[in-house]
Amino acid sequence: MEKHYQAIIIGAGPSGTACGITLQQHGINHCILEKSVFPRQKTCAGLVTKKTYELIQKLYDKQNIDALFCDTSSRIKLYRKTELLTDAPLQRDIHLVKRKIFDNALVERYQDLGGVLRQGETGITIDYKNNRILLSDGQLLHYQTLIFADGALSISHKLLDVDKSKLAFGLETYLPASLFPTKSVDIYFDYLPNGYLWVFPHGDTVCIGIANQYQKGCDYKKILSDFLSDYGIDVSDIQYVGAFLPYGYAVPQEQLPDNVLLIGDAGGFTDPISGEGLYMALKTGICSAQSIMTDNPKKNYLQSVRPLTDIVKEGKKVQKIFYSPAIQKRILAKLSGKQKLVSFFFENQVEEYHYKYRQILQMYHDYKKDNH
Ligand SMILES: Cc1cc2nc3c(=O)[nH]c(=O)nc-3n(C[C@H](O)[C@H](O)[C@H](O)COP(=O)(O)OP(=O)(O)OC[C@H]3O[C@@H](n4cnc5c(N)ncnc54)[C@H](O)[C@@H]3O)c2cc1C
């Protein structure tokens, strides 16, 4: 049997479901193909900033939104190794999600709206020339637009030579909260050459992880175990999970056929300094759906996500400067004891993108003006 869709989305993570929910709300004929069966695990620290929260409100049932979150926090602490540099209060709580629950809730929302999700599709073959996909059961699906939402190791990257060296690798573990009690968002520098370590509250557990520009041969497990040992935690039975994430490489999707769009991690959409990807996943998902409803989806999609592409490109330049050892040493020394500066940066840049990365000096100037 053959089926015809205006759009087919590959992947039902946050970017895929954000796209699917928006298409479904507008009655666009489409489906999602997903290799896993939900609920499924996803390696992620689950930090939800204000801008992400606001997109979730648009996509999810507002009345039940609180059930999505496993914790909140109103402080951010910065460390250099184990030395506390700053403990900064935030005006507004940060939210945290457990991805297994969060992603499943978005999938259920999509299905409640009548969206067609085909789970467990592990053997798809894409025929780009004829705009169709062959499923493992022999069914043929035709598309007008194909949307890759299949994560950092997207199938589409084979067409574009995107390899792991352009990505970051993250490793994390979950411990009972009693073993590492914290109610703040804790960021540790100096454990990794080009990334950071985090400890986030997750209800009755804490999420402890690292992410760094991917380097073959780097012993990520040892870095994390050494940190835990520094805090007196017995690491012999600890389970770690790892995953790749984009880290400042804007995938050149304009080189793909005109009816192929990349969203979320598949398009390289994460913040190159914080590693935050949920905001861009939801945003690019929504933008891609909106572009499908226009006469030139690819052109309009690329135009609507331009501000995000700028963040990826400019953030990559700032990342290189921020993680150069001499400069980072000076920046951390400057942040020491500067609660207001850390709060200002977090609330204006990380939470809301009020400033672009190229405006970082302007941001510092505005902070000085407000706090002289
Ligand atoms: C260690 C780590 C910590 C992170 N912490 C945070 C954080 O605290 N806050 C934050 O905002 N971001 C964080 N991120 C980034 C965030 O997890 C991602 O940016 C986000 O998940 C991207 O969503 P997505 O829908 O694009 O991709 P994904 O969430 O990866 O979803 C892709 C989906 O596609 C499916 N798929 C893959 N291949 C195929 C295929 N061939 N066919 C069909 N389906 C397929 C997968 O099964 C999956 O369901 C973190 C990432 C890592 C690795």
How remote is the CA of residue 152 from the centroid of ligand 1, in Å?
A: 7
Mean pLDDT of 99-124: 97
Q: What span, in angstroms and rounded, lies between the C-alpha atoms of 157 and 272?
A: 19
Residue 63 pLDDT exceeds 90: no
Check if 264 has its Cβ closer than 6 Å to any atom of ligand 1.
yes
**Widest pairwise Cα distance in the chain:** 70
pLDDT digits (tens, 9 = 90+) for 29-38: 999 999 999 9
| Mutation pick for ligand 1 pocket among 33, 42, 119 (CB with most ligand atoms within 8 Å) | 42
Q: How confident is the model at residue 62 (pLDDT cuts 50, 70, 90)?
A: confident
Beta bridge partner(s), residue 47: 96
Which pLDDT belongs to residue 370? 86
Give, for 52, the enclosing helix (H) or strand (E): helix 50-59
**Domain extent listing, the chain:** 2-66+98-161+249-316, 318-370
* Closest C-alpha among 160, 187, 332 to residue 246: 160
pLDDT digits (tens, 9 = 90+) for 175-190: 999 999 999 999 999 9
> Which strands make up the sheet holding 241-246, listed edge to edge?
47-48, 83-97, 69-80, 185-189, 195-202, 205-213, 167-176, 241-246
Which residue's alpha carbon is at the smallest distance from atom 3 of ligand 1?
44
Beta bridge partner(s), residue 176: 205
Residue 372 pLDDT exceeds 80: no
Check if 21 has its Cβ closer than 6 Å to any atom of ligand 1.
no
* Closest C-alpha among 127, 116, 146 to residue 259: 146
Q: Evaluate whether 288 touches 19 at the Cβ level (below 8 Å).
A: yes
pLDDT digits (tens, 9 = 90+) for 232-274: 999 999 999 999 999 999 999 999 999 999 999 999 999 999 9
Which pLDDT belongs to residue 119? 97
| Mutation pick for ligand 1 pocket among 8, 31, 35 (CB with most ligand atoms within 8 Å) | 35
How remote is the CA of residue 335 from the centroid of ligand 1, in Å?
A: 31
Residue 333 pLDDT exceeds 90: yes
pTM of the model: 0.98
The CATH code of domain 2-66+98-161+249-316 reads: 3.50.50.60
| Mutation pick for ligand 1 pocket among 44, 196, 279 (CB with most ligand atoms within 8 Å) | 44
Check if 272 has its Cβ closer than 6 Å to any atom of ligand 1.
no
Q: How confident is the model at residue 1 (pLDDT cuts 50, 70, 90)?
A: confident
Cβ count near 174 (within 10 Å): 17
pLDDT digits (tens, 9 = 90+) for 126-147: 999 999 999 999 999 999 999 9
Q: What percent of the chain has pLDDT over 70?
A: 100
